[in-house]
A and B are shown apart, each in its own frame.
Chain A
Amino acid sequence: MDTRRILITGLSTFWGGRLARALEDDDAIETIIGVDVDDPTVALDRTEYVRVSNQHTLIRRIVAAAEIDTVIDTRLAVDSTVAPPRLAHENNVIGTMNILAACSGPESPVRKIVMKSSAHYYGCERDDPAFFTEEMRRPHPPKTPIERDIVEAESAVRDFADKHPAVTVCVLRFANTLGPGLRTSHTRLFALPAVPCILGFDPRYQFIHEDDIVGCLEHAARHDLAGVFNAAADGVLALSEVADLLGKPLAPVLPPWGTGLVAKPLRRAGMRFPSELLNQLRYGRGLDNRKLKTSGYGYRYTSREAVQQLAKQLRLAPILRDAREPYRYEQEVEEFLRYSPSVRRGQH
């Protein structure tokens, strides 16, 4: 199937913005429309931004009117420090249901859905396998709200895929993300003078660089990948190895017993350990990334290289602070650039 008319949800997130920018360069793609409740955070050339909430009736009208054939859903929140649990639930579970509802129906033009999910789907437990493959289920039911949301959102997507065999549904489960454009709980912890850990544990960590995030989403947009795919860079690092690469010592600030109790006051002191991260600091997680590789995707960075990139960026951070002008979205300017007859293509 040819992908020509794309709708990106979550345009204001890092993922959606970077993806839109990558797709803009391809002339074969006629239209890129981005929807979100917040303004875009990256400068976009021809992507059209519509401010709209996750209501399915509104999105459905956009989908039908623009004859969207591919929906790329980058909206899922996978870090509980980003939003309070209730908002995250609203976005992750209800939002996903609404997007899927907007794509269903006999006369829907949508032929492909790509959903960004997270390796939090698998959780982190003591009796996990060292490398999760896509068909594995988590051994225990999720305990943290964000993991529950992700499992629920994915089951909604699976139901949709079962009911709509004509639509190619692709779910990408991303490992922990690293990159200069990203601020996650992990990048925040790694930016501390020492890398915090739980006393007596050295968990295994797998990462994915932000360029590969965009690469994977683009790969899924351009090819017909049906099913679930793990997206994680080659190489699983021990946390001690990560600290080594960052040039920082490990600080066992969390005790092995009563970890949650100590994490609470530490949160107030500036070290924010979201609950889904505590289990990861204890047991770690590895993913089998070979299914996506067999579909033809080649990762640009390994986990180790992603951490090295982060180390470089962290060293520059105090020097470059506030040096780069952040992009600001101005509706009038963007509309002028897109639609005014005075604008000469490719010159602005």
Chain B
Amino acid sequence: MARQRRVPVHEAAEEAREAAEAERLPEATRPESLEVEDLREHLPGIEPDRQVTDWGRSERVEGVLDRTLVDFLYHYWFRVSVEGVDGVPDGNGALLVSNHSGALPPDATMIAKAIKEEHPRPRPLHITVEHFFKGYPGFAMLLPKIGAVPAHPANVHRLLYDESQLVLVFPEGRKGSEKLYKDRYRLRRFGRGGFVAAAMRAQVPIVPVCVVGAEEAQPIFAHLRLLQKLTGLIYVPVTPTFPLLGPAGMLGYLPAKFAIRFLDPIPTDQWGPEPWEDSGLVQTVAEQVRDLIQRNLLDMLSKRSSVWLG
């Protein structure tokens, strides 16, 4: 019953790997396991002839992009260096939580690519995006194909719990990606802690992720409110290449050096049964995760001697 005790997050992070490896709770002792375990057995089977998953993810589109643009950006443009990727669970579900930046944020794709390239057991990463994109032409078509999923709690739960997948969330949301260059690397509010509740419900660990470089790759100097209203987009930023080079300027990334640090997983089954009902606890954990990422970001930045060379 030692697990019932509330453990501060940073201690918990150290225990995480042991806990994950040594004694995994027997299935039957998990709450609600009997009822829901049945449902997991009834997930639709995989049809090998299909190239698109039930979520709309297309192997073909993703593969083409991965081999061309993403590969180039990862290896040659951003020259991504990665630490601690081995800590990402290799079989079960896990919720990756990261800081967010860049007008058309390149961080999500780079984290996904890092797991694909460096992890001993590469797995697809599902990226949660705002519902807005499901309703905007073009985005609605492309984003699901490359692994984006609308950030609905039910979607996150199904991916994490029922399908044991990796899910990436940006709790800052658009507040992170629309912030101006002068506010770089200062984390915004972490939503309302919904990501913590989601991980608790799904009984999967939280993996904090810190990304350095995305802020400088596409700095935002100002916002064009009028154009935003006319296009109905969530924001229209002024970046070094946009609107100077037209719409294609949105893809104009500066060659900043990227560094991604995966922190140790934080187990979410340490707070007894149904911890998500305790909103105070949820908020506290969310705040602790935010602190942890902020501290690590500052640590990475203090060691960086050049924005472009790392």
Does the CB pair A200–B137 fall under 8 Å?
A: yes
**Residues in A whose Cβ lies below 8 Å from that of B52:** 237-238, 241
Does the CB pair B140–A201 fall under 8 Å?
A: yes
> For the complex, what is the distance from the CA of A129 to the CA of B134, rounded to whole Å?
11
Q: Does B158 contact A (CB under 8 A)?
A: yes
Q: Does A130 contact B (CB under 8 A)?
A: yes
Chain B: minimal CB distance from A335 (Å): 46
Does the CB pair B134–A290 fall under 8 Å?
A: no
**Residues in B whose Cβ lies below 8 Å from that of A38:** none
**Residues in B whose Cβ lies below 8 Å from that of A201:** 137, 140-141
**Residues in A whose Cβ lies below 8 Å from that of B55:** 130, 236
Q: Does B8 contact A (CB under 8 A)?
A: no
Does the CB pair B58–A238 fall under 8 Å?
A: yes
In the complex, chain B residues 250-301 whose Cβ is within 8 Å of any chain A Cβ: none
Q: A200-B137, A235-B47, A304-B47 are in contact. Are A129 and B56 (CB under 8 A)?
A: no
Does the CB pair B50–A294 fall under 8 Å?
A: no
In the complex, chain A residues 274-305 whose Cβ is within 8 Å of any chain B Cβ: 282-283, 286, 288-291, 293-294, 302, 304
Q: Does B39 contact A (CB under 8 A)?
A: yes
**Residues in A whose Cβ lies below 8 Å from that of B154:** 129-131, 133, 136
> What does the 1/0 interface line of B25-49 toward A look like (CB < 8 Å)?
0000000000000110011110101
Q: Does B54 contact A (CB under 8 A)?
A: yes
**Residues in B whose Cβ lies below 8 Å from that of A290:** 39, 42-43
Does the CB pair B152–A130 fall under 8 Å?
A: yes
Q: A201-B140, A235-B54 are in contact. Are A131 and B47 (CB under 8 A)?
A: no
> For the complex, what is the distance from the CA of A286 to the CA of B135, rounded to whole Å?
16
Q: Does A199 contact B (CB under 8 A)?
A: yes
Q: Out of B44, B56, B135, B149, name the residue touching A202 (CB < 8 Å).
A: B56
Question: What number of residue pairs across chains A and B have CB atoms under 8 A from each other?
Answer: 86
Q: Does B155 contact A (CB under 8 A)?
A: yes
> For the complex, what is the distance from the CA of A241 to the CA of B158, rounded to whole Å?
23
Chain A: minimal CB distance from B59 (Å): 12
> For the complex, what is the distance from the CA of A236 to the CA of B132, rounded to whole Å?
21
**Residues in B whose Cβ lies below 8 Å from that of A211:** none
Does the CB pair B152–A127 fall under 8 Å?
A: yes
> For the complex, what is the distance from the CA of A128 to the CA of B149, rounded to whole Å?
11
**Residues in B whose Cβ lies below 8 Å from that of A129:** 150, 152-155
Q: Does B246 contact A (CB under 8 A)?
A: no
**Residues in B whose Cβ lies below 8 Å from that of A238:** 52, 56, 58, 144
Does the CB pair B141–A293 fall under 8 Å?
A: no
Q: Does B91 contact A (CB under 8 A)?
A: no
**Residues in A whose Cβ lies below 8 Å from that of B45:** 234
> What does the 1/0 interface line of A102-124 toward B look like (CB < 8 Å)?
00000000000000000000000
Q: Does B186 contact A (CB under 8 A)?
A: no
Q: Does B247 contact A (CB under 8 A)?
A: no
Q: Does A141 contact B (CB under 8 A)?
A: no
In the complex, chain B residues 49-99 whose Cβ is within 8 Å of any chain A Cβ: 49-52, 54-56, 58
Does the CB pair B44–A302 fall under 8 Å?
A: yes
Does the CB pair A200–B44 fall under 8 Å?
A: no
Q: Does B131 contact A (CB under 8 A)?
A: yes
Q: Does A99 contact B (CB under 8 A)?
A: no
> For the complex, what is the distance from the CA of A208 to the CA of B132, rounded to whole Å?
29
Q: A200-B138, A201-B137 are in contact. Are A241 and B152 (CB under 8 A)?
A: no
> For the complex, what is the distance from the CA of A202 to the CA of B144, rounded to whole Å?
9
Chain A: minimal CB distance from B39 (Å): 5
What is the interface size of chain A, counting residues whose CB is below 8 A from a CB of the partner?
32
Q: A202-B140, A237-B52, A290-B39 are in contact. Are A127 and B44 (CB under 8 A)?
A: no
> For the complex, what is the distance from the CA of A237 to the CA of B141, rounded to whole Å?
13
**Residues in A whose Cβ lies below 8 Å from that of B139:** 200
> For the complex, what is the distance from the CA of A198 to the CA of B141, rounded to whole Å?
10
Residue of A nearest to B141 (CB): A202
Does the CB pair A200–B39 fall under 8 Å?
A: no
Q: Out of B43, B50, B137, name the residue touching A256 (CB < 8 Å).
A: B137
> For the complex, what is the distance from the CA of A127 to the CA of B56, rounded to whole Å?
16
**Residues in B whose Cβ lies below 8 Å from that of A136:** 154
Chain B: minimal CB distance from A117 (Å): 21
Residue of A nearest to B44 (CB): A234
In the complex, chain A residues 115-161 whose Cβ is within 8 Å of any chain B Cβ: 126-131, 133, 136
**Residues in A whose Cβ lies below 8 Å from that of B54:** 130-131, 204, 235-236, 286
**Residues in A whose Cβ lies below 8 Å from that of B58:** 238
Q: A127-B152, A131-B154, A235-B54 are in contact. Are A200 and B141 (CB under 8 A)?
A: yes
Q: A128-B152, A241-B52 are in contact. Are A302 and B137 (CB under 8 A)?
A: no
Residue of B nearest to A127 (CB): B131
Chain A: minimal CB distance from B135 (Å): 4
> For the complex, what is the distance from the CA of A286 to the CA of B44, rounded to whole Å?
12
In the complex, chain B residues 88-145 whose Cβ is within 8 Å of any chain A Cβ: 131-132, 134-141, 144-145
**Residues in A whose Cβ lies below 8 Å from that of B144:** 202, 204, 238
Chain B: minimal CB distance from A219 (Å): 15
Q: Out of A126, A130, A294, name the residue touching B155 (CB < 8 Å).
A: A130
**Residues in A whose Cβ lies below 8 Å from that of B153:** 129
24 A-B contacts, Cβ less than 8 Å apart?
A126-B131, A127-B134, A129-B150, A129-B155, A130-B155, A131-B155, A131-B158, A133-B154, A136-B154, A200-B136, A200-B138, A200-B139, A202-B140, A202-B141, A234-B44, A236-B54, A236-B55, A238-B144, A241-B51, A290-B42, A291-B39, A293-B42, A294-B39, A302-B47
Known: A200-B140, A282-B140. 6 other contacts (CB 8 A): A127-B152, A129-B155, A130-B152, A200-B138, A201-B137, A238-B58
> 8 smallest A-B Cβ distances: which pairs?
A200-B137, A234-B44, A256-B137, A129-B154, A126-B135, A290-B42, A236-B54, A293-B42
